Structure 1
């Protein structure tokens, strides 16, 4: 192992970091609302359970007339996709693929092949349901057998859940993580539809498959396992994120497809309700997804899938789609969209993408009565055509069957709001004239956190002008104590000041204060002084953004204990600015150029070229980014600085 790296020691530190990284969650971030448990107690749930898969309104595999009626003209499309995988070479997962995570931190070497195998299996299964001639059964059996032979369905990056805290799988312990739960759900569908067909070839195939699902999921989930994502023993400051609805929804689906034991089924359903309540308690009532819009598809959207399944499992008894918070969480994805293919990408997100699919957004909107989501889904389909027909699992497949006609006939246009203010999460989005600005307060220990308290992004004519770089390729380092050695996580590469030579700090106590928004003047302001460690010697630093039709005012009002080192104000840009003229920096975008005016008596401007080697970032921004820095010429203890951005005449 290079550099003396010890994976077991690393994982002990990683587990500590993951369990306590949420320690800064402020008091408002977790409130005992318990919507699901208030909707039904355990006895009510048990009495309401729909057994024998009667909740599923799909024909059996052998009902050819039923499938012909459901699929209609789309049948051939599904068959053609399956035919591409008739000669698919299943990707073997080697021991060295797990070891590579310890050696180099590479996650893709294993996670990529597993995802490809899972997708191939799903595609083959849908094709066989569509055609029904048995052409795809052998390949489906191969895929099922491959997954059954794996020691674990979890990647090394998630194996810290094991008691041995090693990135190498322990055959004596079964765990459930987001990847394993997704795999289990696909395999549960395989058993439900095809176990009788498998038996025609050899009865040991379906016996093995059910046995693996029962051991790894059905009997395992209801144990007192204490996995962090369940949040069963939640204490203030702990983290509850996308893993919760993502795992719980897939696990619940397995019980719904497989379990005939009503006592076990009831325990699992109610345990999932208590767990998902923890997630809903953790998320702010304003509904903002602090993990970023890229995670919306596996956080709020996964919550939606869980709630749909829960409603079906209980015969409609548990239904909280009328809840305002649930609706807010869905609508976040619409309000995070800037237009022209760009989104508000705070946290681990890419600026040119959105989570979820148009059909998933539409279903969420239909279930909650949100015209915002339903109208936005149509815009999303136009601006992200590759997402329109994307299906990553059977629930997406069912969604396309149930909602495609309603989606196609929906005609209401989405209207971008003048502003959207999230008072608890402290996100603010503003639209005025040709400018769009999004800013944040918050704290430096949010889920998928970057040290970016008080940062902002600015778009001109729906084109990036001042940006959030986003996140690079996930490696071992990304979710480890070394996270903030990655440059994209640091405040120096966000649109923030470096005060007395000191950057923002990660952790619970580093947060904004007095964050507020004035809707009449479109002004967002927050005191970011608390996001810096004591070495910065800052008493107060109020950063404000005021948006007008043709101008943006960025203002810093500050008070320092001492001015021992220089202070620099940084801005991240996608295109190289022109700073040839003192007092004016010309910022460039595909929508046109704008002027940034600054006090040349107080600041000197410089530009640094940031070379991009990470493909996840270069796919968004290209091979170079630029950091525009304004260095203060004096060392004053207090003052007010203004940067004015105006459309160039």
Structure 2
């Protein structure tokens, strides 16, 4: 890993003026392509509303205080993200529009008003992040966090790309606010922000977004060099949080969030200075393979830890990673719709600037992937009847970023739908990042995962609660993983879990108990199980998962649980509990088989 001196950075930055982060003509050309039609239609509709309605309402105190009073983030953030949606739509329309002159003037006028309005906001952060500002001895107004850095990056690129087309007072105010709210509190103050040592996506987002804004707006090469040096250190912190095999323990959503900004900054820095982080940081290209390694189907990924099971990755990002690192691509269906990212990030510009249409509608690769450092096993197959089936299991430890207590957790999916599920992250409400939250909240707790409860003890949190890999092997038609989970449980019992997965969609799950007096097996799903003697079935849209167990050993019961997801949307999950009727068997075997749902549609789903 190469580190450059401030003198060398200053020299490189002095030699080259600010440059556009992408070729604007590519954006304009690709915006007219059929694959971008849905995206651009939604953008132009939102821009038209912006022209017709004028400035959006500001974010009032009544919403600002809501989080402190109730712990609810969504009230404030819903309105804030709607304002970013309007900003991005107007800016994109102004960049690509080739309509009548009057229409272009109206869009630019509405955009100027929106830029001015964003500068009127009390904070570019959110109330839930006030603790980060307080820890740094600052107010929320100058809190440097992902949201404020994303806003600074968006505004910097908009005024740079539309140079000469926006009113000078608006541009001057944008530049002043980007400096006052983000660049100065980060680069002119030597005190570190908490995220600079956090080894999560935040380091890449904040370091990358702030760095891109500085590359466009900071005129002093020495000050810029010091800032870029700090951003580079933040990006290295992000990379240090990845496993040595390139895996991201927080899941695909956090990988995408961090890698978006890592890559965008890397390309912006390379365009101006020639510095190539992909060439100098080998782990970056290794981590670029992560989506292809763990994909369970089209836009489907393991929903372990803090990530959802469905995630539409940026085809622009993946195209660029393929070009720069030569990595395999996961299946990509299309450019994501406008609004698929609820934060409405400016990163969507890269989908138009970088996407190679040849990568769209690519087929998923079949076979097994084992990431030994991360402890994830994934397998994708087409069954004999054409149904796409997939299996994923994890080891790791219970002190991971956005941790869930989930050693030995597994997923079974058919046709892209999780039948035995990981329910993913819950709502980001008060205390969700507290180190003890995993025991107090459902989603991150062991009770929300398909893992045993032993002698009344669910798995505990902490780095010392770690799965030891006893054995892992793979053949062309099967995958085997055995984990020792004993360190995750109190009471001294020994617990091992063995997965034997076959390409025909058959999983033999075996739990070994030594010294346990009672045990509970748990199977989680978003589908209500149908129970018969010694049998449970989960019927999905395309597939059915059938579980067979020894009825005389296990007493079944089904719980219906109301939950809310990351965005506060309500839902229902079902927990099948199997409690021991008597002595705990030393070897408990459960057979799970995936098959097509013959009662449903006969169309083949590729997942």
Q: TM-score, normalised by structure 2?
A: 0.85
Among 513, 523, 540, the alignment partner of 1:589 is 540
Number of the residue aligned with 1:367: 324
Query: 2:587 matched to 1:640?
Result: yes
What value does the CA root-mean-square deviation take over the aligned residues?
Answer: 3.2
Q: Partners in 1 of 2:443 and 2:341 — Cα distance?
A: 32
1:141 counterpart = 2:112: yes
Partner of 1:554: 509
Runs of 4+ residues deviating >6 angstroms: 65-76, 384-391
Structure 1, unaligned stretches of length 5 or more? 1-34, 60-64, 232-238
Contact 1:517 1:524 in 2 (8 A): yes
Aligned-residue offset at 1:516? 4.0
Secondary structure at the aligned position of 1:555 is classed as strand
Pick one of 360, 363, 372 that aligns with 1:423.
372
Aligned partners of 1:333 and 1:354 also within 8 Å: no
Q: Deviations over 1:405-426 (max 9, x none)?
A: xx22458944423111110011
Matches within 5 A, 1:138-537: 138-163=109-134, 170=139, 174-194=142-162, 196-199=164-167, 204-222=169-187, 223-231=189-197, 239-314=198-273, 316-321=274-279, 324-339=282-297, 342-351=300-309, 353-354=310-311, 356-370=313-327, 372-373=328-329, 376=330, 379-381=332-334, 392-401=344-353, 403-404=354-355, 407-410=356-359, 413-432=362-381, 434=383, 435-480=389-434, 481-482=436-437, 484-514=439-469, 516-520=471-475, 521-532=478-489, 534=490, 536-537=491-492
Shift of 1:42: 3.4
Q: Does the CA-based 8 Å contact 2:253-2:307 persist in structure 1?
A: yes
Q: Is the 8 A contact 1:36 1:274 kept in 2?
A: no
Per the TM alignment, residue 251 of structure 1 is displaced from its structure 2 partner at its CA by: 0.5
Task: Describe how 1:73-92 pairs up with structure 2 within 5 A.
Answer: 81-86=46-51, 87-92=53-58
Deviation at 1:219, TM superposition (A): 2.5
Q: How far apart, in 2, do the equivalents of 1:323 and 1:452 lie?
A: 31
Deviation at 1:126, TM superposition (A): 2.6
* Residues 340 and 174 of structure 1, relative CA distance in 2, 3 Å threshold: closer
Q: Is the 8 A contact 2:254 2:307 kept in 1?
A: yes
Alpha-carbon deviations, 1:80-125, whole Å to 9, x = none? Answer: 5522311244131122222110111111211222222122122212
What CA distance in whole angstroms lies between the structure 2 residues aligned with 1:607 and 1:79?
48
Give 1:451 shift: 1.0
How far apart are 1:579 and its partner, in Å?
2.5
Task: Count how many residue pairs are aligned between Structure 1 and Structure 2.
Answer: 574
**Separation (CA, whole Å) in 1 of partners of 2:255 and 2:326:** 19
Q: Distance in 1 between matches of 2:444 and 2:30?
A: 48
Which residue in the other structure is 2:578 paired with?
Answer: 630
SS in 2 for 1:348: coil
Deviation at 1:615, TM superposition (A): 8.7
Displacement of 1:342 in angstroms is 3.4
How far residue 322 of structure 1 moved from its aligned partner, in angstroms, is 7.7
1:608 matches 2:559? yes
CA 1:586/1:70 → structure 2, altered by over 3 Å: closer, same or farther? closer
The separation in 2 between residues aligned to 1:467 and 1:135, in whole angstroms, is 49
Question: The residue matched to 2:464 in structure 1 has which SS?
Answer: coil
Q: Deviations over 1:50-97 (max 9, x none)?
A: 5432455657xxxxx999778668899665552231124413112222
Alignment partner of 1:541 out of 471, 495, 517: 495
- TM-aligned CA deviation for residue 473 of structure 1: 2.5
C-alpha displacement at 1:525, in angstroms? 1.5
- The 1:136–1:340 alpha-carbon spacing in structure 2 relative to 1, beyond 3 Å, is closer
- 1:110 is aligned to 76
Answer yes or no: is the 8 Å Cα contact 2:425–2:566 preserved in 1.
Answer: no
Instruction: Go from structure 1 to structure 2 and tell me whether the alpha carbon gap of 1:165 and 1:635 turns closer, same or farther (over 3 Å shift).
Output: farther
Provide the C-alpha distance between the structure 2 equivalents of 1:449 and 1:303, rounded to a whole number of angstroms. 23
CA spacing shift, 1:391–1:531, aligned 2, 3 Å: closer
Kindly indicate whether the alpha-carbon contact (under 8 Å) linking 2:132 and 2:193 is maintained by their aligned counterparts in 1: yes
Rounded Cα–Cα distance in structure 1 between residues aligned with 2:418 and 2:19 = 50
Match of 1:501, SS?
coil
Cα–Cα, structure 1 residues 312 and 108, in superposed 2: closer, same or farther, change >3 Å? same
**SS of 1:338 mapped into structure 2:** coil
